[in-house]
Amino acid sequence: MQKATEPVVSPVSSAQESRGQKPLRIALFGFGTVGSSVARILVESKPPELELTHIFNRNVARKKADWVPSSVTWSEDADAVLATDVDVVVELAGGLDTAGGWVRKALEAGKSVVTANKKLISYQGIDLERLAAARGGHIKYGAAVAGGIPVIPGLEQGLAGDRIERLEGILNGTCNFILSKMEKGEDYATVLAEAQKKGYAEADPTEDVGGFDARAKLSILMRLALRVQVNPDEIVPTPITAITPVDFSYARDLGCTIRQVARARRNNGDLAAAVGPMLVDLRSPMAWSQGTENMVIAGGHYAGDVVFSGHGAGGHPTAVAVVSDLLALAHGSRRVEIPSAPAKIGTEFDVAHYIRFLVRDKPGIVAAITVGLAEEHINIRAIVQKPGYPADALPFVVTVEPCKSSALRRALAKVNEMDCMISPPLDLQMLE
């Protein structure tokens, strides 16, 4: 006869034990799009493990909302909030210096931190994790990449048993919104204005359209998936600003569309990474991503490709990831310690390229381009010219066989010196 056993009690965090399993006290730093969504979830869902006690924001009077319980303290004094008995600081203000100072003070005081600050984690994440461990707290940042898509928990836990060798993804919802709208015929300026109106893009959209946001996120994923610590500044992004409707027209003729893609690969010790607009085959899952959706494809040595997909921009999706991190802390979850080592990006992708030229037409242009490419040992795959464009502003496309981007840049620099060139050639990688 089997002996009766005592019921198993799930472990809780030491902070909860010391307070008699009272809810974690939460201080929210930043009450913008994401911060107000986090507060809304906490107020409406009322998770018993969590209690919103403080909201910090500059010029806080203009931010106060009547739906926030009267028990919540509003403040514009960050140090005063950090000096209280809150258990977790949720940092959603963004940026490096000021926000980084708040996070460090919180961790030094033994508090835990939840953040969506991809720039802070990409540049200082390792140091902050060490500080948290030394002071007995935790730092979680599941919302820093891909909004509400659980990419970071998936890499830390679900794929920890595999050896990830390749990452490809759409990591910026703003760019995906712009490019998927342009795919349907709209022009860049009109779509950008719409993105700004909807709150997807800032008044200065450089971080998004210039690729800097995506490269910060890529460097975080590289540490978790490829186990390498890379300075984000090593990844030189290509902006999406040079893409025009004619590029989508030519891309369709080639069976492709255009997306801002962040990609990295580790192979036999070689590490490559790139961020920028690229041609994506229409059969690829990334071609199906529309609007503010994000997508990450992790290529494992054993399990093959795993795809994460969902909404990556906007307050509610990101807030879901933040609250999920808070609930994980409330139930005693720690960050998974994944070993990683400093690394340098030391190689390039060997990949086919799409090159769009805009010229004043005259005899000999294609021959000169062919010579310039041949000097760098680059083979032409196809030349495509659509009818109906004027001879004094003629766009046409050359695709080339896989080659190093540096070799192609050298070739195009010489080609660009031709007096028929109206603008520098547009060079996009082609994912195959």
Q: Which of 217, 344, 404, 414 is catalytic?
A: 217
Residue 161 makes CB contacts below 8 A (sequence gap 6+) with 302
- How many alpha carbons fall within 13 Å on the CB side of residue 50? 29
Residue 389 makes CB contacts below 8 A (sequence gap 6+) with 395
DSSP 3-state of 12 = coil
What are the CA-CA distances from residue 116 to residues 63, 97, 197, 289, 312 (Å)? 20, 15, 22, 22, 12
Helix axes 97-108, 118-135, angle to 10 degrees: 20
- Each as own residue / partner, the long-range contacts of residues 189-198 (CB below 8 Å, 24 or more positions apart, any chain) are none
DSSP characters over 332-348? T--------EE------
429 in Cβ contact with 278 (< 8 Å): yes
For residue 268, give the H/E element and its range.
Answer: none
Query: What is d(CA 296, CA 323) in angstroms, rounded to the nearest whole number?
Result: 21
270-281/256-267 β-pairing = antiparallel
- Identify the DSSP state of 187: -
> Which amino acid would we find at residue 142?
G
DSSP 3-state of 98 = helix
Helix axes 365-375, 405-415, angle to 10 degrees: 140
380-384/341-342 β-pairing = unpaired
Q: Residue 217 catalytic?
A: yes
> Which amino acid would we find at residue 409?
R
Query: What is d(CA 214, CA 260) in angstroms, rounded to the nearest whole number?
Result: 9
- Identify the DSSP state of 240: S
Which residue, 211, 200, 217, is CA-closest to 260? 211
Q: Residue 417 CA to chain centroid, in angstroms? A: 36
426-431/270-281 β-pairing = parallel
Query: What is d(CA 4, CA 89) in angstroms, rounded to the nearest whole number?
Result: 43
Which residue, 26, 74, 68, 60, is CA-closest to 44? 68
Which residues are marked as active site? 217
